[in-house]
């Protein structure tokens, strides 16, 4: 049994039947979120997908992190394939009675992973130049820099972040904004043929910490006709979780 499956009672619905097919770890995450009017987000998702709100507000997320141990079930990690940094831009949606994540874009410097995710799930993955620095022994902040040169925009999109945790680890309580933004156990995407498909995931509850961040993220939402509010984002840090996922279902 995968270690992530040792605890399942925190899930909003039961673990899917059938065998999971992909494992990975999501590490050193910054959850940065801004309130955005739902009327600006609805045109970005297909009909039938509902933009979710918390306390009457919808949220746009930008999440830099690094992935390790990415591989299909039963196979060993592969150098240059199983570990890479990633940046995603995401919305929070509901479809078919389940709450999940809708990705507007996912950027990674791993061309094989990008091609595989686009082919297998129809996810909007893009190849980009990404540099990520983990926290060192001296306690320097995490640093994440990205340049997207994949033809989505001219000039290329740029993203920069420097961030660090500032407090104790906690788990988000149901009903809180922190729980709404992080405890999501599926993603939705317009798969091949433009049908809405769902990919279920499982992990332990997020170990969250309050955080401090310096961000230059506005260019990442420009292709979607959006502008980040001038207010400071809501930010959280997580050291990460181990994850398994299941094949896509319609």
| pLDDT in the model for residue 135 | 74
Of 135, 145, 191, the closest CA to residue 165 belongs to: 135
The fold adopted by the segment(s) 19-189+199-245 is Acetoacetate decarboxylase-like (2.40.400)
User: In this model, does residue 139 exceed pLDDT 80?
Assistant: no
243 — pLDDT class (breaks 50, 70, 90):
very high
Using alpha carbons, list the distances in angstroms from residue 49 to 41, 42, 62, 134, 174.
11, 8, 20, 36, 23
Q: What is the mean pLDDT of residues 154-178?
A: 94
Using alpha carbons, list the distances in angstroms from residue 61 to 90, 136, 168, 218.
5, 26, 22, 12
User: In this model, does residue 161 exceed pLDDT 90?
Assistant: yes
| pLDDT in the model for residue 54 | 98
Integer Cα distance of 143 and 164 in angstroms = 9
Task: Give residue-wise pLDDT tens across range 1-37.
Answer: 899 999 999 999 999 999 999 999 999 999 999 999 9
Task: Give residue-wise pLDDT tens across range 63-119.
Answer: 999 999 999 999 999 888 899 999 999 999 999 999 999 999 999 999 998 998 898
Integer Cα distance of 51 and 147 in angstroms = 29
User: In this model, does residue 151 exceed pLDDT 60?
Assistant: no
Integer Cα distance of 246 and 201 in angstroms = 6
Integer Cα distance of 102 and 222 in angstroms = 17
The model's pTM: 0.95
- Other Cβ atoms less than 10 A from the Cβ of 187: the count is 21
Per the document, the length of the chain is 250
How far from the centroid of its chain's Cα atoms is residue 249's Cα? Answer: 19
Q: Where are the beta strands (DSSP E) in 37-97?
A: 50-51, 58-72, 84-95
Task: Give residue-wise pLDDT tens across range 169-223.
Answer: 999 999 999 999 999 999 999 977 778 999 999 999 999 999 999 999 999 999 9
Task: Give residue-wise pLDDT tens across range 102-113.
Answer: 999 999 999 998
Residue with tokens 């820099």: 145
Element (H, E) at 118: helix 111-121
HEC profile for 1-27? Answer: CCHHHHCCCCCCCCCCCCCCCEEEEEE
Integer Cα distance of 8 and 40 in angstroms = 35
Q: What is the mean pLDDT of residues 125-140?
A: 82
138 — pLDDT class (breaks 50, 70, 90):
low
Q: What is the mean pLDDT of residues 121-127?
A: 91
| pLDDT in the model for residue 136 | 65
| pLDDT in the model for residue 152 | 61
153 — pLDDT class (breaks 50, 70, 90):
low
Pairing of strands 125-127, 98-108: parallel
User: In this model, does residue 49 exceed pLDDT 60?
Assistant: yes
Q: What percent of the chain has pLDDT over 90?
A: 82
Q: What is the DSSP letter of 193?
A: G
User: In this model, does residue 154 exceed pLDDT 80?
Assistant: no
| pLDDT in the model for residue 140 | 80
Q: What is the mean pLDDT of residues 151-161?
A: 79
Element (H, E) at 38: helix 38-41
């Amino acid at each position: 049994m995968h270690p992530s499956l040792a605890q399942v009672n925190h899930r909003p619905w039961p673990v899917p039947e059938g065998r999971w097919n992909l494992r990975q770890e999501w590490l050193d995450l910054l959850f940065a979120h801004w309130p955005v009017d739902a009327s600006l987000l609805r045109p970005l998702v297909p009909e039938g997908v509902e933009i979710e709100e918390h306390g009457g507000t919808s949220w746009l997320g930008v999440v830099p992190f690094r992935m390790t141990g990415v591989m299909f079930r039963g196979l060993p990690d592969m150098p240059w394939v199983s570990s890479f940094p990633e940046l995603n831009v995401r919305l929070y949606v509901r479809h078919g009675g389940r709450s999940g994540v809708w990705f507007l874009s996912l950027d990674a410097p791993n061309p094989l992973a990008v091609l595989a995710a686009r082919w297998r799930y129809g996810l909007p993955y893009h190849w980009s130049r990404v540099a990520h620095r983990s926290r060192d022994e001296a306690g320097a902040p995490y640093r994440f820099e990205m340049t997207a040169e994949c033809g989505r925009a001219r000039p290329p999109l740029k993203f920069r972040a420097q961030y660090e945790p500032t407090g104790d680890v906690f788990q988000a309580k149901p009903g809180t904004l922190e729980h709404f933004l992080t405890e999501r156990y599926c993603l939705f995407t317009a798969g091949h043929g433009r049908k809405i498909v769902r990919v279920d995931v499982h992990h332990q509850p997020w170990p969250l910490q309050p955080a401090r961040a310096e961000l230059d993220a506005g260019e990442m939402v420009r292709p979607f006709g959006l502008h980040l509010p001038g207010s400071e984002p809501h930010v959280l840090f997580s050291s990460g979780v181990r994850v398994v996922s299941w094949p896509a279902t319609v």
